[in-house]
Amino acid sequence: MSFRLGVDVGGTFTDLLLINDDTGATYTAKVPSTPSDSSQGVLNGIEKICRTSGIDAREIRSVMHGTTVATNAILTQKGARVGLVTTQGYRQVLHIARSFVPGGLGGWVIFNKQPLLASLEHTVEAIERVSAKGEVVTELDEADIRGKLEQLRDAGIEALTVSLINAYASGVNEEKIAVIAAEVMPDIPVSLSSRVVPEMQEYERTETTVVNSFVRPEVSNYLDHLEHEIKARLADDVQLSILRSDGGLATCDSASYTPVNLLLSGPAGGVAGAIWFCSRGGFDKVLTFDVGGTSTDVALIENNSARLRRETRVGDVAVRAPSVDVRTVGAGGGSIAFVPELTRALRVGPDSAGAEPGPAAYNKGGEQPTVTDANVVLGYLPANQKLGGDMEIRRDLAEAAVQKVADGMGVSLKEAAEGIVRIANEHMFGALRLISVEQGYDPREFALCGFGGAGPLHANALGILMDAWPVIVPPSPGVLCAYGDATTRVKDEASRSLVKGFSKLDQAQVVEILESLTQQVNRSLEGQDIPRQDQTITWQADVRYQGQALLLTQDVEPDELKSKGLGVLQTAFDAEHQQLFSFSLDEEHELVNLRAIARAPRPNITEKEWTAEAEQLSDAVTGESPIYFDGQDHTATLYDREKLWPGHVIPGPAIVTEMDSTTVVFPGYQAEVDKVGNLLIEPVGHKGRE
Amino acid sequence: MPANIIQPNSTPLQRVDVDTVTLDIIENAMANARNEMDAVLIRTAMSPGIREQGDAFPMIANHDGKMVVGQFGSFITGFTESYGGTIEEGDIFLTNDPYMCDGAVSHLPDWLVLVPIFKDGRLINWSAMFGHMSDVGGKVPGSLPTDAQTIFEEGIRIPPVKIYKKGELNEDVLDLILHNVRMPRWNKSDFNAIVASCRTAAKRCIELANRFGDDVFTSALSMMLERNYIAMREIIRNVVPEEKRSFEDYICDDGAGLGPYTIRCTMWREGDKAIFDFEGTDPQAPSSVNFYLNEEMFKMFFGAFTINLFDPSILFNDGFYDLVEVNIPQGSILKPNFPAALSCRTHLLGRIFDVMGGLLGQGTPDAMSGAGFSDSPHFMYSGYDENNEWFQLFQIGFGGIPGRPVGDGPDGHSLWPGFTNVPNEFVEAYFPLRIETYETITDSGGAGLHRGGNGIRVGYRLLADGEISIHDDRWLTYPWGVNGGDPGQRSRKELIRANGERQMLPSKCDHVKVQAGDLVVFDTWGGGGWGNPLKREPQAVASDVRKGLVSVDGAKRYGVVLDATGTVDADATSALRAVMANSRDDSALFSRGGTIEEIKARCLEETGLPAPAMPVWKSGAGGRA
């Protein structure tokens, strides 16, 4: 027997999922997160899941982990004290921050800057210069920089970034400084911009490398400690992998060196989990939305893989690191509704009641009306429902809170509640449009997948807004991230900047570069015990019209590029440009970056078998509850999801409850359970129209 | 004669009731559509001015031409009233002539695209955008000749033309235009990007009308305009007093030897109506620094400026226009007579915001900020590179945000929404130069309880022979401080030749010959300080010194004495502060660094440049009493 374990550490709970590779049997566990040292929660969870499943911990061969340690260090501004070395004349590159001021005309009147992640007091200049072509124009003054590094050491920095001008073209002086730093401060981790993100644009490259330094000590301490403890309790040769923002798995070592690649590790796990369930249900084009307490994350899946982008954003911090193209909108269960006096408009979010004090209905001191409270008033979250097993919902408190909005707008309680939910849905709808319609995709060709604690509450409504069917609610939507962690596959990539017009390129040269990048990633995966013949290689090229700022990434199969030549890339680029922007140009194309990606095979996990004896649908009914929908009262039937079976069709109005989530099915809609246990919500009679 | 709008569907749009939730949803969707316009433009444009600096402004208007979302207010009504031809589905209009669109765009490099949006045979919306082209021909590369005397020298003038007629591109006209500019590739793709952006807005409007119904959608837009009317009526009652109040500020010179030019504005309220009168503003300049200020645009500046103080989350539009009246004397530097040159209007455009700040601030000093970085200084460099290919660089400079009620002014930032610098590595990769220095200037922000932001120093090492142009201001008059804050440091430009010779350059100049190896030191100015600097926390001053933003000497302007290790010497600080407090005069609201006469008298000595001569109205022309 061998087992794989997925572990997702969230803000409130640490979710675990254990899968038997041979039988497909799964076991889940939920334990409270331990924010002061999140490895403790992970270890508690491992202990619990082994105890409840009766499985020997030494049978677990691999642990896949999605972590928000890096993200939290940024959001709470509790990272390392970072020292920064820039080129002479550029000490203030982060301070000036490209001179950008957010907001509209007059926005500067109220704009206050966040503190820098590498303070000016800990920023020094190296006397050196490299040209845009990568030639050394001024040799590095080694004695000078040694003295300055000693000052930084004495000032107590905990991590060092070296980011010099034009280092994307040549990192030679950065490497020299790294050598000196290793002598001056041997215990301080050093991040070089030419290694972390060898791309043009000094501000973005510096910021990205500084973010890497900022989170690095915390992440590597955490991972070292976790790896040590896991090996002590599980088998000695257990493999610990960390989920990167781009949905690939990284070894512990590589995650520790470039933790800037882990910032969206958590959301990437959710998307991977959605891919797992949707693909097995037969859906390969899916829009996902993950509704949490303060925000909603959305992503687009095509051909069973998530769209990626080359930028990652966490709060106010934006870095150049590849990530699953997850867009976040500040609307979640805890988003607060209010009616400003001046305009008397109904606003929802972005302020959130968070976990503390939380929605009024949770009776933890919150008094402001939230989206969750509106869902309670509408009956979508029945008051007899227990959240996460033990939290009680107080309908009276929710009503008192929502009444404030009703009074402000001069409408009835239920109308106000429906208004709040509609506005929240609209924010989520806006985010889903951003990744679909605005990228040239027709959402009607996609299925929707809602997960996270509150996603299934809004799933039916978003299906109506998007006209995208079916709406899929996967099993255990609250622990989907752990599923993603456990089922994702190992992946690595290597890239090189070129920035050359197509007329100045020849095919042989491009293929040669890609072959050498391929060698690099082949070796990397071999180092993780994945033989070369099992690896799948994809090549990518980032293309634009010469002069543009955008990059459109073109996938190309190695054989196709070799047989058809570079024209393949140009044609594909023109077509995508036309799709996105309604025009293409008769201009020189520019090849900016080349990339090779190696992927391991998908994990071979046997399908769960449903026992032959299906239960009756009526056995799953647990009662009735009133709901309010589209201006009218209805009576919804309540179902226990544990007792639903493939083939069951639940007519709306209905509410399906399970340990960590609640799904609403509106009148005129139905939910069918598919062969892998997904709930598929559709308008009644929709199937016949396809 | 007004334009003839051809609408095959003659059913009028009905005003219907819209519930507030639907209204809020439509408001949100319109804001998203506008953001999408920006995104499409920045991703597909090619000139660094638009794609990196974001020098372009989108707008969506309702079927009457009233701006529902956008920044600079609507010019559609002015256009439809003066355009003599027909307007049909599929038409797209292009113009760049300020005199033909009542100042909707204010110089020739700004190309304005207008798209009427039709649905089922009816006009339901307009989308529009203007963007700054890197070149539109004329007498200098970059098309911003300081010494132009008429608009004919400033590039190709495009009257409102149907660049698309019923969906068909008028290629002959486009070719003719592109034939007259120095970087046709950039203009062409930027034009395409602007059109694509406007079409995106059109698509979104039609989708919304389909989703909610034409009547609900258009009624909701009207209600959004009314929301602004009601909100602004409150604000006007709050911030505009009934008694008259005046404020003056200046641009330092016109690049032709005259200056400073006074901009004078008087403000008062009659009932709910705010009145702004520019009587007393100086006459138009013989050079190109004139600013053809559209009255409606000024209303927008006023609204945007004040609404940020009260409700920054409102979706701002021009529904409040009837509440504001603006009078600008004909023949003044803000309303010059055709064919006055206009290309270098950026200094006055920026200074208008300082005038507004000073004017409104007198009534509510606590809510007032110091003089800001009210300009977009330009640096232009052109010539032939080592491959004998033409290059043309256009850079916008940034400077010090003033001290404000909410805190210190950021150092080296932009006063304009969405603007960013062009990355230096990008500039170095595509142009023959190296940027050796890119930092804010120590001590250049005005001292204050809240410090003014520092200006920026950019050191351009030029690697090819060619020509440079510089357009800046505030080299003579100071960015004023308020409520006891000191003025910021003025701008300066110096050329250091490869052989070591040094030369002060005027704030405004063209055709300066340069050679490979020369260094241009481009210093912008600092923001004015806010509040008494002696009240600033000494530790905050010490922190600024450690960061290199204030010097040990500069700390003394705050009455703060630091020892050799940078630690505050508490005793020496109290002693110095006591002495300084005695000699302070805290009666004046504004600190301008002296009268114009005093500043001029010190000019040559302090700046290395001669003082300009005073501009005067010709006899009989309006304006000055």
A576 φ, ψ to 5°? -70, -40
User: How many angstroms separate the CA atoms of B80 and B126, rounded?
Assistant: 11
Tell me if B470 sits within 8 A of B379, measured CB to CB. yes
Q: Per-residue pLDDT tens for B584-608?
A: 888 889 999 999 999 999 999 999 9
User: How many angstroms separate the CA atoms of A582 and B61, rounded?
Assistant: 22
Which pLDDT belongs to residue B312?
63
Tell me if B162 sits within 8 A of B86, measured CB to CB. no
CA atoms lying within 13 Å on the CB side of residue B534: 16
* A201 vs B contacts (CB less than 8 Å): 423, 425-426
Separation in Å, CA of A627 to nearest CA in chain B: 20
Q: Per-residue pLDDT tens for A627-652?
A: 999 999 999 999 999 889 999 999 98
Of A96, A200, A583, the CB nearest to B196: A583
CB-based contact, A136 to chain B, within 8 Å: no
User: How many angstroms separate the CA atoms of A343 and A351, rounded?
Assistant: 18
* B420 vs A contacts (CB less than 8 Å): 98-100
User: How many angstroms separate the CA atoms of B355 and B182, rounded?
Assistant: 36
* A631 vs B contacts (CB less than 8 Å): none
Q: What is the mean predicted confidence (pLDDT) over B399-417?
A: 93
Which pLDDT belongs to residue A89?
97
| Cis previous bond, A350, omega within 30 | yes
Of A99, A344, A434, the CB nearest to B413: A99
Q: How far is CA B412 from CA A108, A313, A523, B325, in A?
A: 12, 24, 46, 35
Burial class of residue A538, CB neighbours in 10 A (0-12, 13-18, 19+): middle
Lowest mean pLDDT among A21-25, A119-123, A167-171, B191-195: A21-25
pLDDT averaged over every residue in chain B: 92
User: How many angstroms separate the CA atoms of A107 and B401, rounded?
Assistant: 11
User: How many angstroms separate the CA atoms of B206 and B224, rounded?
Assistant: 18
Is A99 in contact with B434 (Cβ distance < 8 A)? no
What token pair was written down for A588?
A: 């020189």
Q: What helix, strand, coil percent values describe chain A, rounded to 5? A: 40, 25, 35
**Beta strands, E only, A361-426:** none
What token pair was written down for A72?
A: 């939290």
User: CB neighbours of B19 closer than 8 A, spacing ≥ 6?
Assistant: none
CB-based contact, A587 to chain B, within 8 Å: yes
B556 φ, ψ to 5°? -65, -20
Q: Per-residue pLDDT tens for B37-81?
A: 988 888 888 887 787 667 778 999 999 999 999 877 777 888 888
Of A132, A347, A550, the CB nearest to B425: A132
| Cα B38 to chain centroid, rounded | 17
Mutate to test the interface with B, among A84, A343, A418, A544 (most CBs of B within 10 A): A343
User: How many angstroms separate the CA atoms of A341 and A352, rounded?
Assistant: 20
User: How many angstroms separate the CA atoms of B547 and B554, rounded?
Assistant: 13
**Beta strands, E only, B508-594:** 508-514, 519-523, 590-591
Separation in Å, CA of A119 to nearest CA in chain B: 8
Query: Which of residues 338 through 397 in chain A touch B, CB cutoff 8 A?
Result: 340, 342-347
Determine the residue of chain B that is closest to A95 in CA distance. Answer: B411
User: How many angstroms separate the CA atoms of A518 and A523, rounded?
Assistant: 9
In B90-129, which positions are buried (b, 16+ CB within 10 angstroms) versus exposed (e)? ebbbbbbbbbbbbbbbbbbbbbbbbbbbbbeebbbbbbbb
**Single-letter amino acid, residue B529:** G
Nearest-5° angle of CA B592, CA B597, CA B603? 85
Q: What is the mean predicted confidence (pLDDT) over A680-689?
A: 80
The pTM score is 0.87
Q: Per-residue pLDDT tens for A288-334?
A: 999 987 788 999 998 888 888 878 888 778 898 889 988 888 888 88
- Per-residue pLDDT for A689 more than 60? no
Which pLDDT belongs to residue A688?
45
* A107 vs B contacts (CB less than 8 Å): 308, 312, 417
Tell the residue number behind the tokens 């503190």, with chain if given: A115
Which pLDDT belongs to residue A613?
67
User: How many angstroms separate the CA atoms of A484 and A66, rounded?
Assistant: 9
Q: Give the containing element (helix H, strand E) for B396.
A: strand B390-396
- Per-residue pLDDT for A233 more than 60? yes
- Per-residue pLDDT for B620 more than 60? no
CB-based contact, A586 to chain B, within 8 Å: no
What token pair was written down for B180?
A: 């007259």
* A103 vs B contacts (CB less than 8 Å): 308, 312, 417
Q: What percent of chain A is modeled with pLDDT above 90?
A: 55
Q: Give the containing element (helix H, strand E) for A517.
A: helix A507-526
Q: What helix, strand, coil percent values describe chain B, rounded to 5? A: 30, 25, 45
Closest CA to B452 of B414, B491, B479: B479
* A165 vs B contacts (CB less than 8 Å): 424-425, 428
**Beta strands, E only, B150-306:** 161-165, 168-169, 245-251, 261-270, 273-277
Tell me if A451 sits within 8 A of A273, measured CB to CB. yes
- Domains of chain A plus CATH, in order, are 76-202 (3.40.50), 284-469 (3.30.420.40), 491-599 (3.30.1490)
Q: Per-residue pLDDT tens for B242-262?
A: 999 999 999 999 999 999 999
Which pLDDT belongs to residue B621?
46
CA torsion, points A458, A461, A464, A467, in degrees to nearest 10?
-10
Helix, strand or coil for residue A308?
A: strand
Pick the residue with more confidence: B216 or B43? B216
User: How many angstroms separate the CA atoms of A519 and A534, rounded?
Assistant: 14
* A426 vs B contacts (CB less than 8 Å): 24-25, 28-29
Q: How far is CA B84 from CA B9, B79, B96, B160, in A?
A: 22, 9, 17, 10
Separation in Å, CA of B421 to nearest CA in chain A: 5
Of B43, B45, B412, the CB nearest to A96: B412
Tell the residue number behind the tokens 């080129």, with chain if given: A87
Q: What is the DSSP letter of A645?
A: -
Q: What is the mean predicted confidence (pLDDT) over A573-579?
A: 89
Tell me if A113 sits within 8 A of A352, measured CB to CB. no
CA torsion, points B66, B68, B71, B77, in degrees to nearest 10?
-10
User: How many angstroms separate the CA atoms of A483 and A487, rounded?
Assistant: 6
| Cα B247 to chain centroid, rounded | 20
Mutate to test the interface with B, among A86, A93, A98, A99 (most CBs of B within 10 A): A99
* A168 vs B contacts (CB less than 8 Å): 425
Q: Per-residue pLDDT tens for B482-524?
A: 999 999 999 999 999 999 999 999 999 999 999 999 999 999 9
**Single-letter amino acid, residue A610:** W
Which pLDDT belongs to residue B164?
97
* B192 vs A contacts (CB less than 8 Å): 583, 585
| Cα A145 to chain centroid, rounded | 39
User: How many angstroms separate the CA atoms of B220 and B17, rounded?
Assistant: 8
Pick the residue with more confidence: A208 or A661? A208
User: CB neighbours of A36 closer than 8 A, spacing ≥ 6?
Assistant: none
Nearest-5° angle of CA A256, CA A603, CA A27? 90
ipTM of the complex: 0.90
CA torsion, points A378, A382, A387, A393, in degrees to nearest 10?
80
Which pLDDT belongs to residue A23?
80
Tell me if B429 sits within 8 A of A499, measured CB to CB. yes
